[in-house]
């Protein structure tokens, strides 16, 4: 399975080929579709990474807590689950 960096590199290659403008219409449409799939794959990878990010938040009484951001793919708002720092 390709990672974010590989998808991004492939997407950059697609964009460069499309920008040259020396493709047939069919080739351009095919590359555009491939680029859209690669773009979605990059977006998905970024959303998954965001879901794993830990942030420090101020808890009750001013104590710092570690909170993991859980990104719900059906909802744009991130839900934060707080864990007491040991």
Closest by CA to 80, choosing from 62, 3, 59, 63, is: 59
Q: In what order do the strands lie in the sheet with 64-71?
A: 54-58, 64-71, 78-83
pLDDT digit string (tens) for the chain, length 86 residues: 679 999 999 999 999 999 999 999 999 999 999 999 999 999 999 988 877 765 555 566 767 666 666 555 554 444 444 444 44
Neighbours of 14 (CB within 10 A): 20
User: Which residue has 């001013």 as its token pair?
Assistant: 62
């Amino acid at each position: 399975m390709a990672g974010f960096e590989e998808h991004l590199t492939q997407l950059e290659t697609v964009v460069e080929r499309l920008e040259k403008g020396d493709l047939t219409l069919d080739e351009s449409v095919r590359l555009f579709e491939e680029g859209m799939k690669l773009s979605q794959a990059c977006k998905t990878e970024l959303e998954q990474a965001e879901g794993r990010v830990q942030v420090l938040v101020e808890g009750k009484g001013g104590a710092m807590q570690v909170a993991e951001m859980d990104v719900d793919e059906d909802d744009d708002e991130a839900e934060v689950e707080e864990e007491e720092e040991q």
